[in-house]
């Protein structure tokens, strides 16, 4: 069994490392990079909190899981979208009109990127609230 301090430190380190990874992998797409930076900054703020316990830990864990899952989903959807477009073009389709499947994939990919940003910034907001609170 781990102590609450160790779990809080593990959450801060996991958020920091996940934020660095998401920001690095999404460096070409601004919305993913900002989500990763927000997650990493939130992890850094929690890491320097001192001996205070983290308040609202379950919300922070939920935001961390959302950001990581959304980033992984965005990466896999982007790969599938490229593959699907390549298959469509390899069949000799005209380049002017894309099928509805590609539009749906693109909208889903945009939603996953927005979810990554929301998770990262929510984690940052929770970390700032923990830093400001005097308990």
Q: Tens digits of per-residue pLDDT, 105-130? A: 889 999 999 999 999 999 999 999 98
Q: Report pLDDT digits (tens) over 32-70.
A: 999 999 999 999 999 988 778 888 889 999 999 999 999
Q: Specify whether the CB–CB gap between 36 and 21 falls below 8 A.
A: yes
**Structural contact between residues 40 and 127, judged by C-beta atoms closer than 8 angstroms:** no
Q: Is 80 exceeded by the pLDDT of residue 4?
A: no
Per-residue pLDDT for 135 more than 70?
A: no
pLDDT of residue 52: 83
Q: C-alpha distances in angstroms, 93 versus 29, 76, 86, 90?
A: 28, 24, 10, 7
State residue 49's pLDDT score.
81
**Who contacts 92 (Cβ-Cβ below 8 Å, separation ≥6)?**
none
Residue 67: predicted pLDDT: 96
> Which of 12-21, 53-62, 89-98 comes out lowest in average pLDDT?
89-98
> What is the structure's pLDDT at 54?
87
Give the residue carrying structure tokens 């609230």.
129
What's the average model confidence in pLDDT over 9-23?
A: 94
């Amino acid at each position: 069994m781990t102590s609450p301090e160790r779990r809080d430190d593990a959450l801060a380190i996991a958020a920091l490392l996940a934020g660095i990874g998401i920001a690095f992998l999404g460096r070409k797409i601004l919305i993913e990079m900002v989500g990763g930076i927000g997650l990493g900054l939130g992890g850094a703020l929690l890491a320097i909190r001192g001996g205070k316990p983290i308040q609202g830990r379950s919300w922070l864990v939920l935001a961390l899981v959302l950001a990581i899952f959304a980033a992984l989903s965005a990466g896999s959807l982007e790969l599938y979208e490229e593959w699907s477009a390549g298959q469509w073009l390899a069949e000799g389709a005209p380049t002017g009109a894309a099928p509805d499947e590609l539009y749906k994939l693109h909208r889903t990919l945009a939603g996953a990127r927005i979810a990554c940003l929301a998770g990262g910034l929510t984690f940052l907001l929770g970390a700032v609230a923990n830093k400001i609170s005097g308990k």
